[in-house]
Structure formats: C-alpha cells, structure tokens
Amino acid sequence: MLDFFTFNHFKGSPSLLHAVTTKSNDLPYAFSLALHTGEEHKNIITNRNKLSSLLHSDEKLHYIVANQTHSDHIRVITQKETKGWESLSDAVEDCDALITDVKGVVLNILTADCVPILLYDKQKEVVAAVHAGWKGTKAQIVSKTVQKMTEIYGCDPKDIIAGVAPAIGRCCYEVGKDVAEHFFDIPEGFTPIGDKYMLDLPFINKQQLLDAGLQEKNIEMSHTCTACEVERFFSYRKEQGCSGRFMSMIGLKNTNFQNISQ
C-alpha cells in the first residue's frame, strides 16, 4: 500500500490535488520517480503510471515535469499539456518552479534532500511547485515565484497558502562557509559548529515566504527531515549519492476529481 505525505491546510480546499510520494519497497527502485538518474526507463514509467492510477480521476490529467537545474527560472503553464512525464526529451528545460491556473494540470517537483514548496492561491485558483536547493534558496526562487503569481494572475500573497515538504533539516545538513555565507543575513537559519555550519533550508524558505507577503498561519512546515527519515524518503546525503527521487505534486482538479489525501 502506497503512503503519501499531505498537508492539512490543503485538504480543506476541494478544488485542489496535492501529494508528496514516499518510498515503497514493493515497487521498482523503492518507488523512485526520476527519469534522469540512470534507472531503467520502463520501470520508472511503471512507477509513474502507478502514481497516476492512484489519483482517481475520471478525466485525463496532464503532468508537467521540469529539467531542474538549481536555477531561479520559472515557467508558467498556460495550456493542458503533458511534459517530461514519459520522457526527458520534452521536459520543461532549465526550470525550478512551475505555475499554472489550468485545471487538470499537475505540477511536479523531484527531490532527495532539496526543499519542495507547494503554493496555492485559493482566491485566484493558481498553484505553483518550487524546487529550492541551496542555490535556488540563495537566488530566492520561492519569493520570485510568489512575485510571478502576483504579476501574471493578480494574486495577493496574503491569500496564498504554502506547504514546505520534507527536505534535509538543520539536524543533518552540514555545509562549509562557502555555502553558509550566502545566508549570514538570516542568523536563525544556521548553527555554527567549529568551521562548519548546520544549515536550515526549510526555515530560510519560510522566511522568504514571509518576506514575500505570506501570512505565517498560511505556511505549513512538514518538520520532516529526509535524512532522519530515510526509510520513508530518499536522501542524497544520507544514502551517499542515491539515485532515487520522490515527487511533490500539486494541481487544480477537474470536475470529477477525488483527492487521494481524503
């Protein structure tokens, strides 16, 4: 039986689909969903088809997957289309945040320690999925995504609710000064230990969301470290370069849509 991580405050929105996948030893590669890490293509597609079948939709869903590059590049999806789901060749190129208001389109982020962030404007019916490693966090990709939602769709940040999904936590993310120094303006975001630093990327992204105008009550943190819970989530660090990735996904429902989190 597949298990999903979900956010409580997203569950109250009947027009929203969201889920964060977890490992399953009953499926190929422990239910990795990544096409770019060298596993046999057909087995990853089997896993993705299994995931799709669990969404219980009577209408066809369109899945968007990007070629994530630790950038601050954002793509707005304006039509029903599937990209990067069955092949890397048509994935959204060089992109780490996706936004859409198109119903039946599911935005997907692949991670194994980096911070996945799901956003939903309940007034404008707009969703976004953001991939924030330390480079993307340095570039404030989540703030830029909120800004883009405001520019394109007229979103008010006060109406946006956010879910910061499982990622490596301060407890396990040791970095050198060359990385930590980019966040010295947020002293609560790291703990110095000798000449190293324990960096808290989920916390820093939360601060960036607050700075972008979101209300604290609208930001739900998973408080789940992928390295600590490696039995449930892939962790590149803990597993010393694992090839598995889990998926954080969000989309607006078609009419006949049943939420897998219900």
Is residue 101 assigned to a domain?
yes
User: Once rounded to an integer, what is the mean pLDDT over residues 37-42?
Assistant: 95
The residue among 98, 198, 90 whose CA lies nearest residue 142 is: 98
CATH code of the domain covering residue 209: 3.60.140.10
Residue 67 lies inside a defined structural domain of this protein: yes
Inside any domain, residue 113: yes
Q: Which residues pair with 107 in a beta bridge?
A: 64, 250
Rounded Cα distance, 45 and 169, in Å: 30
Residue 59, pLDDT above cutoff 80: no
Indicate the average pLDDT of the chain.
95
Collect all residues with Cβ–Cβ distance below 8 Å to 204 and sequence separation of at least 6: 137, 183, 186, 189
Structure tokens that stand for 121 in this block: 């404007």
Provide the whole-model pTM: 0.96
pLDDT at residue 257, as a whole number: 46
Q: How confident is the model over 191-209, as a mean pLDDT?
A: 98
Domain containing 154 equals: 4-252
Give yes or no for residue 37 having a pLDDT over 70.
Answer: yes
Whether the predicted pLDDT of 47 surpasses 70 = yes
Tokens for 185? 């303006």
Q: Please tell me the predicted confidence (pLDDT) of residue 261.
A: 46
Q: Is residue 50 part of a domain?
A: yes
* pLDDT, tens digit, 9 for 90 and up, residues 81-136: 999 999 999 999 999 999 999 999 999 999 999 999 999 999 999 999 999 999 99
Domain annotation covers residue 262: no
In the three-class reduction of DSSP (H, G, I as helix; E, B as strand; rest coil), residue 95 is classed as coil
pLDDT at res. 89: 96
Asked if residue 202 belongs to a domain, the reply is yes
10 alpha carbon, distance to own chain's centre? 14
